[in-house]
Amino acid sequence: MDTFQVRLSPIDEERFGIRTARAMIVVPEDIARMLEFCQSHQVVFLIARCPVAKLHTVQAMEQQGFLLMDTLLYYVRHLTKSPIPEDRAQSLVRPIRPGEEEQVREIAAQSFQGYYGHYHADPRLDRTKCDEAYVSWAVRSVTSREVADEVLVAEIDGRLAGFATLRRNHDQEGEGVLYGVAPWAQGRGIYRSFMIQSMEWGKAQGFQRMLYSTQVTNVAVQKVWVRVGAEVSHAYYTFHRWFDEAGSSI
């Protein structure tokens, strides 16, 4: 099976003002194909993922000037193998209502400021625009069914305290994509509650499992995942490659 994937990324291009592509690279031979694509499409900035087990490919990418930016770790929660834990949270978790987009924007702006994903790890990218990447992703999740199939919010005393975006991957699998809890509401178990409600949502959709991912360094969420019965599954390295620097000709 051909696992190679590459595509232009208009969203990143619009945000950073740089011609950007995204790729999945699995075998070393993919690198030449990807470089050819970037050359023919005048790509300046490439975001490329590679499964962590493919070390020969990783080493070949390092030789080609790819820089490691983060490690994305996936967990899976099987919904039928063990019961979903009880939600003991004080907050009310419910589907988002029309008119609450602006509150989600504010929570995303506060919770993802200076986050440590692959954008922030790259000193060439503008910090403010890196923060904005997560904010616009959260807002697009609320406004477009192509980005998220459901958005849950947590409410404390009538005030929105957090959001969770959920997606249907296929008949068997859902995914919990982006979560943010406002700084004033953190540490009260809202995230745990989002995890449990996301599993309940997946079960109601008839899925066998839910998928969750984060940077390997995001210990807070992984602690919660393990406690609610999720298991580590697979991981990718995220690399950036710039094509406008000295010695970077392709």
Ligand X SMILES: CC(C)(COP(=O)(O)OP(=O)(O)OC[C@H]1O[C@@H](n2cnc3c(N)ncnc32)[C@H](O)[C@@H]1OP(=O)(O)O)[C@@H](O)C(=O)NCCC(=O)NCCS
Stretch touching ligand X by CB under 6 A, among 39-47, 56-64, 167-175, 188-196? 188-196
Round to whole Å and give the CA distance between 220 and 212: 13
User: Locate tokens 């939600």: which residue?
Assistant: 87
Q: What is the 3-state secondary structure (H, E, C) of 121-152?
A: HCCCCCHHHHHHHHHHHHHHHHHCCCCCCEEE
Build a one-symbol-per-residue string for 105-124: x at contacts with ligand X by CB under 6 A, - elsewhere.
------xx------------
Interaction between residue 205 and ligand X (CB under 6 A): no
What does the chain come to in residues? 250
Q: Name which position in 119, 179, 237, 239 contacts ligand X (CB under 6 A).
A: 179
- The Cα-based distances of 174 to 169, 205, 236 in angstroms read 5, 8, 19
Q: Is 189 helix (H, G, I), strand (E, B) or coil?
A: coil
Which CB, 47 or 224, lies closer to ligand X? 224
Interaction between residue 220 and ligand X (CB under 6 A): yes
Helix axes 55-63, 29-40, angle to 10 degrees: 40
Round to whole Å and give the CA distance between 62 and 3: 20
CB of 216 to ligand X, least distance (A): 12
Which CB, 46 or 190, lies closer to ligand X? 190
Q: Name which position in 48, 50, 166, 190 contacts ligand X (CB under 6 A).
A: 190
Interaction between residue 223 and ligand X (CB under 6 A): yes
Interaction between residue 92 and ligand X (CB under 6 A): no
Q: What is the binding site for ligand X (CB under 6 A)?
A: 111-112, 178-181, 186-192, 214, 218, 220-221, 223-224
